[in-house]
Amino acid sequence: MIDGMSARAWRAVWLEDARERGVQKRMRARDRPARAGRARSLIARASASEGERTRGTVRDVVVFAYDALVDATVEMTRVSHAAARTRWPESVPGEAASFVEAMRAMRRCIPESTSCEGAVMVRVIAEEAIIGGRTTSGGRPGPVFSYQQRYERRTRPLTVDEIVSSWREIKLMSVLKWGEEVESSVGWDGRKMMPAGLQDAVDALRANGVRGEQIVYEELKPMLQNALKRGCKVYLMTSRGRSVEHCRDVLLENGFAVANDGNDEPGVSIVDTESFPSRALAAANLIATTARPGERWYLIDGDVEELERFDEADFGDAYASLTEGVKVSLQHAGYAYASPLAIHRASLNNSIQSLSASSVRTMALNFLGDVTHPSRG
């Protein structure tokens, strides 16, 4: 007898208690991996939060399309004027300098500064007599034409806004009206119909040394300087007619160092996109091969179709696994030469943020830290 209980009763109590302890031990062993996983997840989230609070722990990475970083209107006008003057000598009067201000107002509907559409635009400017930076009496952008021109035409010339808003139709109808042989090409952005051989002529003029001023947008200079000073990575993607060597020369002329250029100074890295059918794919490849968890990537492009292409694309499970924990923010360069239609399209897409000149200055002051607009990751 032990405290009024028989040895058999004590043995039964002890076995029951032992079984209960064994079950609990096995349950703890079974739950240990799950608890460890939860602990690791909490630690990772805590580390990420700490990184967000501590500047420099989480890296900001900025990727620019060429025309979202560099204002090449002067160079575009000179090349386009030379191509148009060669192809239509009787229809394109004057010097290229007289077309620059009109081109600044009208190139909003041409996303790429190297497109042959610039040459078509030069002839349209000449035919509609939109020369110089003058406006209508009401202060709105409009044509400048004489009474004699008005009498001879018997029609009102198109205004700047009319051409910009209806450029897709106007360029095709103009080419057909001029009796040009048309060649069509199908790309990621759909079918294009332009005068046969005009793009090759524009590319040849640019390759043979027709040059013009190309400057980094003033609004972006503080951002680039702050980014490089903070040790953040900045990339510049090439485009048609903008080779790696060309991008390097333009950056150096504007006072920005180029990464891996024989010095220890942090600089802009140039991404060659020639082997990719679109910048969206080039950007996805860059992110998949270089991004690290916790990074914030900002893709800034003036072509809203490229941003929409990135947002809507399914890059597959491999891309998802390689970019886990990476935030990607799509930014439309509304501060550059963007058409009202493109800005409106960007505003309707919740995954794309439209950058104006004022918001770019705000980004430069905060340096990207307080304006995160993630669309993936």
Residue 199 sits in the same domain as residue 262: no
pLDDT of residue 11: 60
pLDDT of residue 241: 87
Please say which residue of 207, 229, 252 terminates a domain. Answer: 207
In the chain, DSSP finds a helix count (H) and a strand count (E) of 16, 10
Of 172, 207, 242, which closes a domain?
207
Return the residue matching tokens 């079950």. Answer: 23
Cβ 283 vs Cβ 359: under 8 Å: no
Other C-beta atoms lying within 10 Å of the C-beta of residue 362? 14
Q: Are residues 224 and 315 in the same domain?
A: yes
Q: Is 33 contained in some domain?
A: no
241 shares a domain with 291: yes
DSSP letters spanning 24-44: HHHHHHHHHHHHHHHHHHHHH
Q: Say whether both 225 and 301 belong to one domain.
A: yes
Residue 195: inside a domain: yes
For residue 20, tell me if it sits in a domain: no
Find the mean pLDDT for residues 171-193.
79
Judge contact between 98 and 132, C-beta under 8 A: yes
| Domain span holding position 200 | 73-207
Q: Do 355 and 225 share a structural domain?
A: yes
Domain presence at residue 342: yes
* 149, part of any domain: yes
Last residue of a domain, one of 180, 207, 234: 207
The closest of 281, 284, 279 to 297, measured between CA atoms, is 284
113 Cβ partners below 8 Å, 6+ apart?
Answer: 66, 67, 72, 73, 75, 76, 107
pLDDT > 80? residue 13: no
Confidence band, pLDDT 50/70/90 cuts, at residue 154: low
Domain count for the chain, please give it. 2
* 136 and 218 belong to one structural domain: no
Does residue 343 sit within a domain? yes
Is 164 found in the same domain as 234? Answer: no
Q: Is the separation of the CB atoms in 128 and 99 below 8 Å?
A: no
Answer whether residue 189 shows pLDDT above 60.
no
Residues 17-56 have pLDDT tens digits of 656 655 455 555 554 444 444 434 333 333 343 444 344 4
Same-domain pairing of 322 and 218: yes
CATH at residue 361? 3.40.50.1000
Q: Residue 17's closest CA among 28, 29, 25?
A: 25
In a domain, 184, yes or no: yes
Digit-coded pLDDT (tens) for 303-356? 999 999 999 988 888 898 899 999 999 999 988 888 888 889 999 999 999 888
Whether 271 is in a domain gets the answer: yes
Q: Which residues contact 313 (CB under 8 A, 6 or more apart)?
A: 280, 281, 284
Contact 142, 159 (CB under 8 A): yes
